[in-house]
Amino acid sequence: MKHYLFKSIIFLLALSTILSCKQNKQEYNAENALDIRFKNLKKYPVDSLAFPRSYQITKDKIKKVPSKDWTSGFYAGNLWQIYEITKDEAYKNLAKKWTAFIEKEKFNDRTHDMGFKVFCSFGNGLNHENNQEYKDIIVKSAQTLITRYNDTVESIRSWSFNKERWDFPVIIDNMMNLELLFEATKISKDSTFHKIAVKHANTTLKNHFRADNSTWHVLDYNPTKGNVRMRVTHQGINDDSSWARGQGWAIYGFTMAYRYTKDKRYLNQAKATAAFVLNHKNLPEDGIPYWDYDAPNIPNEPRDVSAGAIVASALIELYGFTKEESYLNYSKKFLKNVQTSTYILPGNIEAPFILDHSSGDWSKRAEMDEPIVYGDYYFLEALLRIKSL
Ligand code: GLY
Residue 72: per-residue pLDDT: 98
Please state the rounded mean pLDDT for residues 244-271.
98
Q: What is the CA radius of gyration of the chain?
A: 22
Give the C-alpha separation, 232 to 166, whole Å.
10
Length of the chain (residues): 389
pTM: 0.93
pLDDT at 267: 98
**Res 242 pLDDT > 70:** yes
Count of CB atoms situated within 10 Å of the CB of 212: 11
Identity of the residue numbered 62: I
Can you tell me the distance from the alpha carbon of 307 to that of 291, in angstroms, rounded to the nearest whole number?
Answer: 7
Contacts 24+ apart (CB under 8 A), 139-142: 139/184, 139/187, 139/188, 139/190, 140/106, 140/107, 141/105, 141/106, 141/114, 141/180, 141/184, 142/114, 142/180, 142/181, 142/184, 142/188, 142/193
For residue 95, what pLDDT band results from cuts at 50, 70 and 90?
A: very high
Predicted confidence band at 299 (pLDDT cuts at 50, 70, 90)? Answer: very high
The confidence band for 6, taking pLDDT boundaries of 50, 70 and 90, is very low
pLDDT tens-digit series, residues 156-198? 999 999 999 999 999 999 999 999 999 999 999 999 999 999 9
Neighbouring CB atoms inside 10 A of 65's CB total 17
Confidence of residue 28 (pLDDT cuts 50, 70, 90): confident
How far apart, in Å, are the Cα atoms of 156 and each of 32, 99, 149, 164, 348?
43, 25, 4, 19, 43
CA distances from 90 to 80, 168, 225 (A): 10, 43, 53
pLDDT of 13 over the 80 cut: no
Residue 298 Cα to ligand 1 midpoint, Å, equals 22
What's the N-to-C CA distance of the chain in angstroms?
A: 64
**Ligand 1 pocket mutation pick from 69, 245, 251, 291 by most atoms within 8 angstroms of CB:** 245
Question: Does 245 contact ligand 1 (Cβ within 6 A)?
Answer: yes
- Edge-first strand order for the sheet with 218-221 is 169-171, 218-221, 228-232
Q: What is the DSSP string of 79-91?
A: HHHHHHHH--HHH
Question: Strand pairing partners for 61?
Answer: 56
Go through 290-308 and write b for each residue having 16 or more CB atoms within 10 A of its CB, e for each that does not: bbbbbbeeeeebbbbbbbb
Compute the distance from residue 173 Cα to the ligand 1 centre, in Å: 6
Report d(CA 207, CA 153) in Å as an integer.
Answer: 11
Kindly state the average pLDDT of the residues 45-65: 98
- CA 217 to ligand 1 centroid distance, Å: 10
Distance between Cα 2 and ligand 1 center (Å): 64
Q: Which of 378, 239, 354 is nearest to 306 (CA)?
A: 378
Under the banding of pLDDT at 50, 70 and 90, the label for residue 85 is: very high
173 lines ligand 1 (CB under 6 A): yes
- 2-388: CATH topology is Glycosyltransferase (1.50.10)
Q: Which amino acid, 39? A: K
Percent of the chain with pLDDT over 90: 93
Ligand 1 atom having least distance to the Cα of 235: 5
Residue 173 CA, closest ligand 1 atom number: 1
Residues annotated catalytic, as ranges:
113, 173
**Mean local confidence (pLDDT), 31-51:** 97
Distances (CA, A) of 294 to 125, 290, 308: 38, 9, 16
Pick the residue whose CA is nearest to atom 2 on ligand 1. Answer: 173
